[in-house]
Structure 1
């Protein structure tokens, strides 16, 4: 059973499709940074980083070629195989007719996973961090770049509109890893962002994920489109599900999977 969240009128290569723009977090105060500065503008200001080859990934996330049995203990979404964790919910993010991201919700925290095509010999995480930071600061948010458990990451305070209409901030962590011809981005929200030391299980989900880039030609930063498993059951938002229902191969590990909340853009 999967929750499906639709991205309004955005298409797969629009707001949710750019590697530097999140497809959304979890909760009613979700966000979406504005378009970041253009490549030309970054070059004019001399702020562009040198793209380096992808760093080693001794602890993951993994390429499909690096795992003997990638489907063992993971949910196969085509472009990403997502690890199953006891007590989790799994939601998918939809842009147009394409599924572009998956969100693992665990108690009061979540991590969104989204994979993109990347150059063969260059990593893009350095540039993507700059673009995300630029988009957030343009909105009046605050961003810190730190070395975390998953490497360089952004810890951000993002302006959002709260359910009562007032303005607030959401704490979010942006993590990323460059792989062979792909880039995997994670967006950690909830308590895992407020208290990073409590996000160990979400970080492990990110590290245990397997990316399936495929051999088809793709432009760098194109999203790697996902798909639902053949036996997936979509559950609309608000529909309660018997937790004892059989059918999931993570029986007792994946609770009901519901449609995620809609995204509130902050402009």
Structure 2
């Protein structure tokens, strides 16, 4: 089921904050004359995430969003996010946890996660946040305490994990929020979703860091905010994705 709703949950707040952090980080880094982290070649990915050329059936058990094939899991809600008129990110929500997935073009022989990680860290610390760079299950990641305004108007922090994987001419970023950012037992499914994601870079020319644009599936149905709709028996989401009890819900967040 597709819907449009306002960004209201803690998981949604973290996903929306990601773009602001990225913009602030790039601006901060551009103004910084200090040394930059060098880009290394992409590391092997024996357990994913995958390039579309590496799988025979990339759509098996996954939702086709054009630039990404996102795994379907039971109980998930899948939301897409737009920048202007383009869909640029997908967020999988599972209970009190979420992972935002966004893919970007990258140089052919260089990974960009090291450089992007440094920029995100710089941006968050300049906003008053706290950063811890650790080697996690998906490689090097940032565990951040991002400044937010609490519902009562007071200042607080939200824990967010920034994960990145370099692939062949693409970079996939995952932002884990909610319980998945603080409890390992809640993070396992989200980490596996990122590993099982398939990136479709395309063969056309793209500048490094250009977002890989997504699309809604052909049988997507948009419903007004607050309207609940049972999955259609003929929906490809409830049929082909046998592990889903109901079709994933996708919200357009502006």
Asked if TM exceeds 0.5, the reply is yes
Question: Relative to 1, partners in 2 of residues 1:27 and 1:166: Cα closer, same or farther, differing over 3 Å?
Answer: farther
1:236 aligns with 2:224: yes
Deviations 1:35-82 (A, max 9, x none): 12555544x212x11111000000000000000100110000000000
Question: Relative to 1, partners in 2 of residues 1:65 and 1:6: Cα closer, same or farther, differing over 3 Å?
Answer: farther
> Does the 8 Å contact 2:11/2:96 carry over to 1?
no
What SS does structure 2 have at the residue aligned with 1:170?
A: strand
Residue 233 of structure 2 corresponds to 246
**Cα distance between partner residues in 1 of 2:182 and 2:148:** 15
Q: Which has the higher helix share?
A: 2
**Cα distance between partner residues in 1 of 2:13 and 2:53:** 38
> Does the 8 Å contact 2:78/2:251 carry over to 1?
no
**Cα distance between partner residues in 2 of 1:193 and 1:157:** 10
What stretches of structure 2 of length at least 5 have no aligned partner? 239-243
Residue 257 of structure 1 corresponds to 249
1:72 aligns with 2:57: no
> Does the 8 Å contact 2:97/2:186 carry over to 1?
no
Deviations 1:115-138 (A, max 9, x none): 000000000000000111111111
Residue 155 of structure 2 corresponds to 167
Q: TM-score, normalised by structure 1?
A: 0.84
Residue 110 of structure 2 corresponds to 122
Residue 131 of structure 2 corresponds to 143
**Cα distance between partner residues in 1 of 2:122 and 2:29:** 12
What stretches of structure 1 of length at least 5 have no aligned partner? 8-23, 263-267
Moved more, 75-84 or 32-41: 32-41
1:158 aligns with 2:146: yes
Question: Relative to 1, partners in 2 of residues 1:4 and 1:95: Cα closer, same or farther, differing over 3 Å?
Answer: farther
Q: How does 1:19-58 map to 2 (within 5 A)?
A: 26-28=11-13, 31=17, 32-33=20-21, 35-36=24-25, 37-38=27-28, 40-42=30-32, 44-46=33-35, 48-58=36-46
**Cα distance between partner residues in 2 of 1:212 and 1:6:** 28
Question: Relative to 1, partners in 2 of residues 1:192 and 1:259: Cα closer, same or farther, differing over 3 Å?
Answer: same
Residue 10 of structure 1 corresponds to none
Question: Relative to 1, partners in 2 of residues 1:92 and 1:216: Cα closer, same or farther, differing over 3 Å?
Answer: same
Root-mean-square deviation (CA), in Å? 2.3
What SS does structure 2 have at the residue aligned with 1:216?
A: coil
State the shift of 1:256 in Å. Answer: 5.8
State the shift of 1:28 in Å. Answer: 4.8
Question: Relative to 1, partners in 2 of residues 1:58 and 1:123: Cα closer, same or farther, differing over 3 Å?
Answer: same
Deviations 1:176-203 (A, max 9, x none): 1000000000000110002134211010
